[in-house]
Structure 1
Amino acid sequence: MSADFTGRRVVVTGAGKGIGRATALMLARRGARVVALTRSGADLETLKAETGCETIVVDLADAQATRAAARQALPADLLVNCAGTTELESFLDVSVENFDLLYAVNTRAPMIVAQEYARERVAAGKPGAIVNVSSCASFVDIPDHAAYCASKAGLDGLTRVMAKELGPKGIRVNGLHPTVTLTPMAVKAWSDPDKAAAMLGRIPLGRFAEPDDIAEVILFLLSDAAAMVHGLSMPVDGGFMVA
């Protein structure tokens, strides 16, 4: 039975495309009041037309703007940190600018949004749940993804500390680790057929994930059905990690 989120207010970052959009749509279909954050106003307009969600345009690479947007989105019952970006460069060619950008969006922004969310929940004396969307790239080496892998590993470390410190305050925190998921960002990263074939060969289920595959698990982790699931790093990878 699908979880019911009627009356629950849920903040979703990166809601304009890919996994974030699929999550926002699925939450709305199941009764949630979604607050969608992303950089593209056009993406948010189409999402609002489909769901009636609240929308906030923000560049998550900007720390000050991110904090302001997070505060604007509150109060909220639940949080999904789903925004992410990548730049494809070999390790020898990684620029400081791109390294800093990926850390800003993939690691620092989730910290800022979760800080504001958790502070509000603790002050109100209310429980909550956070899902940080990481990647299998935090566990394994992927050529041309040095900065991305590092930023997602940083998010994993952050998630573990959040779980340790926020659990006693009634806020569950879990990390989710998708394999390649067919989002616009993945199409950019895996457009080379040879590269894609090599990755598919390591996934026992024989396919890349669809955004809804990931969204379903995010909603489970947010739901009361996962009341004792806390501090988890959960691969959703078609068996990639055990292949």
Structure 2
Amino acid sequence: MNLHGRVALVTGSTQGIGRGIAVRLAQAGADVVINGREDDADARESAAQVRATGRRAGIVAADVACVEDCQRLVRESVAQLGRLDILVNNAGIQTQAGFLDASLEDYERVLAVNLRGPFFLAQAFARHLREAGHGGRIINNSSVHEELPHPNFASYCASKGGLKMLMRNLAIELAPLGITVNNVAPGAIETPINRELLQQPDKLAGLLQDIPARRLGQPRDIAGAVAFLASDEADYITGTTLVIDGGLLWNYHEQ
């Protein structure tokens, strides 16, 4: 997969899956804008790993829950690296709470980061591509929970289900501009968001019984799929979700 000459913006790329995606795109030849809420040591480490591949890296701190930040993020990314060709909406959060106990604040924050952010980032990105006169790629990091219910995480599941339909809608609307729009849907991946799970051996063992591959996924598993969808090899793929879960989705049993 050859991404030479292309520039990617990866949100939430200061650690975990986002960092893995950023580095994998750089290995394929893309220059990469690193994004997190802060320009901190984690952001600088991600940028350093991108530069270690021989590619350029920029850093733009922005909160994707804020519409104005989404618009500024695209503007500053273009200002730093000259253009954008690939948008990876990777940033995401989750809050655990039973439905009857869930707060308005938690609901609004999850939906703002996981759904509103990708909506307005995709809008700003697509406007840039239209003005620049070339196509591009939008790839959203969704979840198996765009399909699979997960009790006590209703807001998260709602955000990912919404992201699935947003992706389908944008795939149709943006196709005339040469923009493809797809989701990747990870299952259980070994990242900081699952730190609590990794410290509970009994719960982890039960989850692994539900995964036919008998292992947690790694950021590289997601990153390779994103690199494919960003490449010319995926030029005729749009409006679809690529599930990356070791078989979890069709073998899951609530613990």
TM range (shorter): over 0.9
Aligned residue in 2 for 1:133: 141
Equivalent of residue 60 in structure 1, options 54, 64, 88: 64
**Paired letter, 1:7:** G
Count of paired positions: 241
Which aligned segments of 4 or more residues in structure 1 are displaced greater than 6 angstroms?
Answer: none
Instruction: Pick closer, same or farther for the CA change 1:191–1:155 going to 2, 3 Å.
Output: farther
Aligned residue in 1 for 2:11: 13
- Counterparts of residues 1-243 of structure 1 (less than 5 Å): 3-42=1-40, 43-52=42-51, 53-74=57-78, 75-188=83-196, 191-243=199-251
Aligned equivalents of 2:47, 2:250: Cα separation in 1? 39
Aligned-residue offset at 1:59 = 1.7
Provide Cα deviations, 1:188-230, integer angstroms capped at 9, x if missing partner.
Answer: 4664444333332221111110000110001001111111111
Do 1:87 and 1:98's aligned partners in 2 also have CA atoms closer than 8 Å? yes
Instruction: Pick closer, same or farther for the CA change 1:76–1:90 going to 2, 3 Å.
Output: same
**Paired letter, 1:51:** V
Instruction: Pick closer, same or farther for the CA change 1:195–1:144 going to 2, 3 Å.
Output: farther
Helix, strand or coil: the match of 1:209? coil
**Paired letter, 1:219:** A
Do 2:139 and 2:229's aligned partners in 1 also have CA atoms closer than 8 Å? yes
Aligned equivalents of 1:191, 1:151: Cα separation in 2? 27
TM superposition score normalised by structure 1: 0.94
Identity of aligned residues (%): 38
**Unpaired stretches in structure 2, ≥5 consecutive residues:** 52-56
TM superposition score normalised by structure 2: 0.90
Deviates more, 1:115-124 or 1:218-227: 115-124
**Paired letter, 1:45:** R
